[in-house]
Chain A
Amino acid sequence: MAGNYALSVVTLILYFAYTGQAWNVMMGFAGQLSLGHSLYVGVGAYAAGGLFFHYGIGPWAGLPLAILFCVALGLIIGFLAFRFGISGVYFALLTIAFAEFTRIGFDHLDWLGGPGGMFLKVAQRDTWDILNFRGPPLMYYYAMLFLCGAALALCSWLLKSKAGYYWQAIRENEEAAQALGINTFRWKMLAVAISSAMTAVSGVFFAFYYNNLFPEQIFHISRSIEIILGPIIGGIGTLFGPILGAAVLTLLSDGITDGLAALGWEIPGIKQVFYGVVLLAVIMFLPNGIWPPIARKLKL
């Protein structure tokens, strides 16, 4: 089972790398801080999960539905914020508010399980049933690997295109960007749409990988924070930062657990303390993240 354990860790790393990449489009590229990305994971998960739970319809139909819902929500938040000049910290608060409202809303949505949760049936875990996204851990690993690769390719292309240049200009100085003919409202909306669509896919994966969904967990702000730690530690706005950050954080978290268990230190909460100290050290000594200095060394 050691193989399966390693596989689950790598799958988790890829999951956070992909979702961090999605968040990075909004914050890293366009400078719009979202602290409510759990909203898109949750809505995406419930959209595809609900379809499967009630009607037995697999994720291939759920995926476009999830993306549709998430993009619509993202655009509503974006419209409210960008149309009425809400930016910076206030924009971040708005994203938290939407995630929290939705969490409370889903608690009262009995059709999707309410606070008791929704559990997707797991028929088998031996053969690859791609149609229903059911199979052994290796299948989920490959799915996530593919998503990560696709996200990296997409982001690298975006960054080199007109959109990437416009987003970075908006991030650096919105007034100057507008004076150069950039319709900042429209381009910020595009960033939100792409980011929320990408995160919706994370949600669909989450639903079919974990098979149980609770509003209290999936929409929780700690989930949003978890998503953004990777890109922050790895390097906001960079292509490889979210991937590297996700790897470092996930391995660190698991390493601390294993290391402390080996030493026989079973003090409650000590893992979080270690985790916090390491995060603090990275933020203090590498404020731009781990990736930029490595990129310089490698002359990238």
Chain B
Amino acid sequence: MLTVNGISKSFRGLKAVSNASFEIPEGSINALIGPNGAGKTTIFNMIAGVFPPDSGSILFQGKPVHGLRPDQVCTAGIGRTFQIVKPFAGLTVLENVMVGAFLRETSTAGARRAALEILERLQLAAKRDLPASSLTLPDRKRLEVARALATRPKLLLLDEVMAGLRPTECDQMVEVFRGLNREGLTILLIEHVMRAVMALAQHIGVLHHGEVIARGTPQEIVRNPAVLESYLGEEAEV
């Protein structure tokens, strides 16, 4: 579904991502892991159209998406969340999600209906009339996901949505994503919370210093010596 072909990106001479390639099959859940500064968010931003790669290509459903603007990428069917949450603080929770829903709905009533459905799913329905600024961090993370889902993506990019969640909240989120995946949503997540990665991901890519150093199933990754050394640590228990 998504093919990333040797993309690279430098910021003022500093190589953030170099020659990264991977493929995301339709209907799968994939994780991108690695230490801080490994280039995970940079890869996300290139896929989402925040900035184009210096070289390489990104194909979504066979069509190039590198060089498109973020709104064009979203319209093409790739939704995203932000690691540092960006709620529309002055709007209510429901209105936040309606903004996303308007991408596929023209009428306010239609957008409202679609948004309510998604809020129900993410257990935010009770808080729908509260201003987004009043939400706690876990709820803001949920709101990020709800808003992105409202654009009806075929591929969802999740940037550290589990960070800051308690284990039970994390498990709830995992369940939500499993459910969405069963309905056909393809997911690519960046995550530090290995509990979530192991529970969700069928394929994992490991980034280190901007390079993909390993790819495989969770079982393969936790036994990979290079990964253990650079990221998980020798005595990783997962």
Chain A interfacial positions (CB closer than 8 Å to B): 160-162, 165-166, 168-169, 171-173, 175-184, 237
B234 part of interface (Cβ distance < 8 Å): no
Q: A160-B108, A168-B91, A172-B91 are in contact. Are A177 and B82 (CB under 8 A)?
A: no
Residues of B within 8 A of A177 (CB): 88, 99
Bound CA–CA A22/B91 (angstroms): 22
The reply to whether B108 and A180 form a contact with Cβ atoms under 8 Å apart is no
**Inter-chain contact total with CB atoms closer than 8 Å:** 75
Most B CB contacts (10 A, CB to CB) among A173, A175, A176, A181 go to: A181
Query: Which of B27-35, B68-76, B170-178 is the contact stretch?
Result: B68-76
Bound CA–CA A183/B72 (angstroms): 8
Complex interface bits, B183-211 against A, C-beta within 8 A gives 1, otherwise 0: 00000000000000000000000000000
A288 to nearest B CB, angstroms?
10
The reply to whether B88 and A176 form a contact with Cβ atoms under 8 Å apart is yes
B59 to nearest A CB, angstroms?
20
B144 to nearest A CB, angstroms?
9
Bound CA–CA A180/B99 (angstroms): 8
Please name 6 further chain A to chain B contacts, defined as beta carbons within 8 Å, in addition to the given A162-B111, A178-B70, A182-B71, sorted by A numbering: A165-B111, A178-B69, A179-B74, A180-B148, A183-B69, A183-B71
Bound CA–CA A182/B103 (angstroms): 8
Bound CA–CA A176/B91 (angstroms): 13
Q: A178-B71, A179-B74 are in contact. Are A162 and B151 (CB under 8 A)?
A: no
Nearest-neighbor residue (CB-CB) of B90 within chain A = A172
B106 part of interface (Cβ distance < 8 Å): yes
Q: A-B pairs with the 9 shortest C-beta distances?
A: A181-B74, A172-B88, A176-B86, A181-B103, A169-B99, A178-B70, A180-B100, A173-B86, A181-B75
Bound CA–CA A264/B102 (angstroms): 60
The reply to whether A162 and B106 form a contact with Cβ atoms under 8 Å apart is yes
The reply to whether A169 and B86 form a contact with Cβ atoms under 8 Å apart is no
Nearest-neighbor residue (CB-CB) of A183 within chain B = B71
Residues of A within 8 A of B71 (CB): 178-184
Bound CA–CA A244/B87 (angstroms): 30
The reply to whether B108 and A173 form a contact with Cβ atoms under 8 Å apart is no
A158 to nearest B CB, angstroms?
11
Residues of A within 8 A of B80 (CB): 179
The reply to whether A165 and B148 form a contact with Cβ atoms under 8 Å apart is no
Bound CA–CA A58/B150 (angstroms): 50
Q: A162-B111, A165-B111 are in contact. Are A180 and B74 (CB under 8 A)?
A: yes
Residues of B within 8 A of A169 (CB): 88, 91, 99
Nearest-neighbor residue (CB-CB) of A180 within chain B = B100
Residues of B within 8 A of A180 (CB): 71, 74, 99-100, 103, 147-148, 150-151
Contact of A179 among B48, B87, B90, B98 (CB under 8 A): B48
Nearest-neighbor residue (CB-CB) of B86 within chain A = A176
Q: A166-B102, A175-B86 are in contact. Are A181 and B91 (CB under 8 A)?
A: no
Bound CA–CA A180/B73 (angstroms): 9
Complex interface bits, B84-96 against A, C-beta within 8 A gives 1, otherwise 0: 0011111100010
B122 to nearest A CB, angstroms?
16
Q: A162-B108, A165-B95, A165-B98 are in contact. Are A181 and B88 (CB under 8 A)?
A: no
Bound CA–CA A184/B71 (angstroms): 8
Nearest-neighbor residue (CB-CB) of A173 within chain B = B86
Most A CB contacts (10 A, CB to CB) among B89, B90, B148 go to: B90
A239 to nearest B CB, angstroms?
15
B15 to nearest A CB, angstroms?
24
The reply to whether A173 and B88 form a contact with Cβ atoms under 8 Å apart is yes
Residues of A within 8 A of B82 (CB): 175-176, 179
Bound CA–CA A162/B106 (angstroms): 7
Bound CA–CA A177/B82 (angstroms): 12
Complex interface bits, B47-84 against A, C-beta within 8 A gives 1, otherwise 0: 01000000000000000000001110011000010100
The reply to whether A161 and B88 form a contact with Cβ atoms under 8 Å apart is no
User: Which B residues between 146 and 191 are near A, CB-CB below 8 angstroms?
Assistant: 147-148, 150-151
Bound CA–CA A175/B87 (angstroms): 10
Q: List 24 A-B contacts (CB under 8 A).
A: A161-B108, A162-B102, A162-B111, A165-B98, A165-B99, A165-B111, A166-B102, A169-B91, A172-B87, A172-B88, A172-B90, A173-B86, A173-B87, A175-B70, A175-B86, A176-B82, A177-B99, A178-B71, A178-B74, A180-B71, A180-B99, A180-B147, A180-B148, A183-B69
Contact of A172 among B70, B74, B89, B106 (CB under 8 A): B89
Bound CA–CA A57/B159 (angstroms): 62
Bound CA–CA A3/B236 (angstroms): 86
Contact of A166 among B74, B90, B99 (CB under 8 A): B99
A130 to nearest B CB, angstroms?
36
Nearest-neighbor residue (CB-CB) of B75 within chain A = A181
Residues of B within 8 A of A161 (CB): 108
Bound CA–CA A180/B98 (angstroms): 10
